Structure 1
Amino acid sequence: MPARDPYLDNAKVVLVTLAVIGHWWSLLPQTLESERVYDFLYTWHMPALVLVTGYLSRHFSWSGPRLRSLAETVVVPYLLFSTLLAAFTVLLGYERPEHMFLVPMWPLWYLMSLFFWRLATPAVTWLPAPLAVAAAVAVSLLGGTLEYPYLDVTRVTGLFPFFVLGVVLTPELLAKVRLPAVRAFGLAALAYTFYVVVDGIDEWAGTQWLYFKGYDYLGVDDGRGIEVRAFLLLVGLCCTVGALALVPATERWWTRMGGATMVVFLVHGFVLRVLGELGFEQWALDHPRLAPVAVVGGSIALAVTLASPPAVRLFTPVVDPIGHLRAKAARPTRVPVSAAPAPPRPARETFDDRVPRPLA
């Protein structure tokens, strides 16, 4: 198994933790300051995560083993967590969601999108990189004209350019993100977005645009929709460069969490739903200064906890049930010493009792 790249693991940890912060941040009172931070975060943190996902998916092919792996690691968890989230929603006293498998619930849109993006990867790699990126941008801009209500198709198509950019990136190009000049450009883009783009987003667009909804849903014609989405794609890309430039390239104490980001992403929603039911929104209203600090600190603590070895062992059977069963079946069985046959030679035998480590 090739060694893991600490830079990629660090990027995954940072971005999935930001996803937790973003979801928890939505429970804060809607003030001008909280909405500004929320819009700033959603302008780039998911595009950055999608780009990293594309980079890690660039070797996907339509071979039998790859397609089987896609079904086992994406489709099966999607169906399982759709069922669990629907049951959890009913348990909390709400109505059972309609079309729960066709309309992704909360974070499950990412698995739905990942399924279609990876299926498209061989076609992307077949094209020259500039043509693949141009085609993905066209798909994104035209995807906003679709009115199909299922499969989150507008978000699948809307974020597709970032996935394609990740697929066509080479390790050499990705390393250039950390060059001083590129880092300066990315940081300037982040600052510009926070002070200029986000400051006026409610006037010329709105938060809903950051979810890549359809143009009809957003109340604009196709021409205006294409114009705004194109600008947001550009802003998201520039900010993604800035964000990835800040990620450390060397191993940190939290780097190994990069192998458990799917656990964090899929499980944290249940915790936040419980916090919402327990009255966090009212508590945040009563403690306006402390609440944002609690959200950031609590999100980091939640991500670290869910990525810890005990939590990974606990949740892997539902996050990757088939992989868990396969690893369990492959685990060697210890033979009691008393029942072991006598060695054919006097030399002492050695046993390797290490359990094969499942793929992260």
Structure 2
Amino acid sequence: MASPRDPWFDNAKMALVTLVVLGHSWVLLPDTARVEHAYDFLYAWHVPAFVLVTGYLSRSFSYSRARLWNLVRTVAVPYVLFEAGIAMFRIQVGGEQLEDLWRDPHWPMWFLSALFFWRLLTPVFRDLWGGLALAVAISLVAGLYAGDTLDVARVLGLLPFFVLGLKATPERLELLRATWVRVVSVLVLVAIFWVTARTDQWAATEWLYYRARYDELDVSDSRAFLTRASLLVLGTLGAMAFLALVPRVQGWFARMGGATLVVYLFHGFAIKGAGYAGWGDVTDAHPVAGFVVTSLLAVGLALLLASPPVARVLTHVVDPLGFAGRRVGDAAEVAVASQRVDEHAQQVEHLVAAQDTDQAAPVAAPAARG
């Protein structure tokens, strides 16, 4: 019997994917100090939190045939389809020029590429003593060499957050529910907000993506190690603070937590479409109102995509092999049921025929004896 879903993580997943849409929508806004600060504050901790939750929910992954097939079906196949789909949209509608499709993930597709490799690494790091320390070392060193192919730079750079999720247990996470921890968490987020107001003094926004090599950021190796280590600490504190503040209540928002992949894969079309339609020009003229309206529309978009009527339809596109499998399964069940009905009908016919024979036999017998 499947264990019931934890509304805490459904709420966290839905909140985090909504923040993804929110952050991407801010790219349409003018580069004001207010927007840049909000963007840096969000990206300092919400991607680490997203990866940490992903790691926690990946703990049961193994190298079994069923798990590997599920990884291909739910991660690799959507990556191939949506990398092509959003690239076609950007080229045909937006007139953009894109190169290295599938080899170099474009825009939000990096997460599926990273998730594929993180899941494969799960059995290695889950039970490895010192695995978190090793992941941190890998992240620090990766900045020297990691490249763009399948976004391996992000795979390795964000690895500590994924391993932190793997190492988490329900008992350890329960400690975040204490009242004093929640109070401290508010102070932590306030502190991060203050620190990110000064991000450009010690780390440009590009650092928050964990994708660039250190030499591309024009800093010494020692400065680079220190900067990334600081961001790992900042991201961990922010992620933990976020989780501590997420409510553990079942409701309509938590029920949307099962549709986060739908939101993630489809929101890019709407964001890019708004950009092509000239939304950025509108917000240039009204920066404050544009920030508020864009943010509200982004949240509304996430909720719309995750709403049950919409998500039920779009899930078939996200998981076409699963949809086809379910259709085949339904057809097989119908065929089996039909066969059973036919067999039952034949049995009834045989019983009726036997009863007719039994009733006719006493009438014919006397004639035969006469």
Say whether the fold is shared (TM-score over 0.5): yes
User: Which structure: greater helix fraction?
Assistant: 2
Q: 2:30 aligns to what?
A: 29
Quote the offset at 1:203 in angstroms: 1.1
> Which secondary structure does the structure 1 equivalent of 2:144 belong to?
coil
State which drifts further: 250-259 or 44-53.
250-259
Q: 2:174 aligns to what?
A: 175
Quote the offset at 1:89 in angstroms: 1.6
Quote the offset at 1:24 in angstroms: 0.2
Aligned Cα RMSD in Å? Answer: 1.8
Separation in structure 2 between the aligned mates of residue 242 and residue 125 of structure 1, nearest angstrom? 23
Separation in structure 2 between the aligned mates of residue 255 and residue 82 of structure 1, nearest angstrom? 28
Separation in structure 2 between the aligned mates of residue 312 and residue 343 of structure 1, nearest angstrom? 44
**Maintained 8 Å contact 2:16/2:46:** yes
Compared CA separation, residues 343 and 180, structure 1 to 2 (3 A) = farther
TM-score if structure 1 supplies the norm length?
0.90
Compared CA separation, residues 171 and 147, structure 1 to 2 (3 A) = closer
Quote the offset at 1:214 in angstroms: 1.7
Separation in structure 2 between the aligned mates of residue 219 and residue 198 of structure 1, nearest angstrom? 20
Quote the offset at 1:333 in angstroms: 3.1
Separation in structure 2 between the aligned mates of residue 343 and residue 265 of structure 1, nearest angstrom? 53
Report the AA paired with residue 323 of structure 1. Answer: G
Q: 1:159 aligns to what?
A: 158
Kindly tell me the number of residue pairs found equivalent between the two proteins: 340
**Maintained 8 Å contact 1:187/1:239:** no
Q: 1:234 aligns to what?
A: 233
**Maintained 8 Å contact 2:260/2:306:** yes
Question: 1:158-205: per-residue Cα shift (whole Å, max 9, x none)?
Answer: 11100000011011111111212222232221111111x112111111
**Maintained 8 Å contact 1:57/1:118:** yes
Q: 1:104 aligns to what?
A: 105
Alignment of 1:333 onto 2:334: yes
Q: 2:364 aligns to what?
A: none
Matches within 5 A, 1:60-75: 60-75=61-76
Alignment of 1:204 onto 2:205: no
Alignment of 1:191 onto 2:190: yes
**Maintained 8 Å contact 1:133/1:164:** yes
**Maintained 8 Å contact 1:57/1:121:** yes
**Maintained 8 Å contact 1:47/1:240:** yes
Compared CA separation, residues 222 and 4, structure 1 to 2 (3 A) = same
Report the AA paired with residue 2 of structure 1. Answer: S
Report the AA paired with residue 197 of structure 2. Answer: D
Unaligned runs of 5+ in 1: 346-360
Separation in structure 2 between the aligned mates of residue 325 and residue 67 of structure 1, nearest angstrom? 18
**Maintained 8 Å contact 1:43/1:210:** yes
Q: 2:138 aligns to what?
A: 139
Q: 1:11 aligns to what?
A: 12
**Maintained 8 Å contact 1:186/1:240:** no
Quote the offset at 1:215 in angstroms: 0.8
Q: 2:220 aligns to what?
A: 221
Q: 2:258 aligns to what?
A: 259
Quote the offset at 1:95 in angstroms: 4.6
Alignment of 1:89 onto 2:90: yes
Separation in structure 2 between the aligned mates of residue 327 and residue 40 of structure 1, nearest angstrom? 43
Matches within 5 A, 1:337-356: 342=345
Q: 2:45 aligns to what?
A: 44
Quote the offset at 1:93 in angstroms: 4.5
Instruction: List structure 1 runs of 4+ shifted beyond 4 angstroms.
Output: 339-345
**Maintained 8 Å contact 1:78/1:112:** yes
Report the AA paired with residue 328 of structure 1. Answer: R
> Which secondary structure does the structure 2 equivalent of 1:151 belong to?
helix
Q: 1:285 aligns to what?
A: 284
Q: 1:311 aligns to what?
A: 310
* Identical pairs, percent: 46
Quote the offset at 1:297 in angstroms: 1.2
> Which secondary structure does the structure 2 equivalent of 1:100 belong to?
coil
Q: 2:77 aligns to what?
A: 76
**Maintained 8 Å contact 1:80/1:318:** no
Separation in structure 1 between the aligned mates of residue 225 and residue 153 of structure 2, nearest angstrom? 13
TM-score if structure 2 supplies the norm length?
0.88
**Maintained 8 Å contact 2:262/2:306:** yes
Report the AA paired with residue 319 of structure 1. Answer: V
Separation in structure 2 between the aligned mates of residue 216 and residue 81 of structure 1, nearest angstrom? 31
The structure with more radius of gyration? 2
**Maintained 8 Å contact 1:147/1:216:** no
Quote the offset at 1:150 in angstroms: 1.4
Compared CA separation, residues 80 and 206, structure 1 to 2 (3 A) = same
Report the AA paired with residue 255 of structure 1. Answer: A
**Maintained 8 Å contact 1:87/1:96:** no
Separation in structure 1 between the aligned mates of residue 71 and residue 279 of structure 2, nearest angstrom? 37
Separation in structure 2 between the aligned mates of residue 277 and residue 268 of structure 1, nearest angstrom? 14
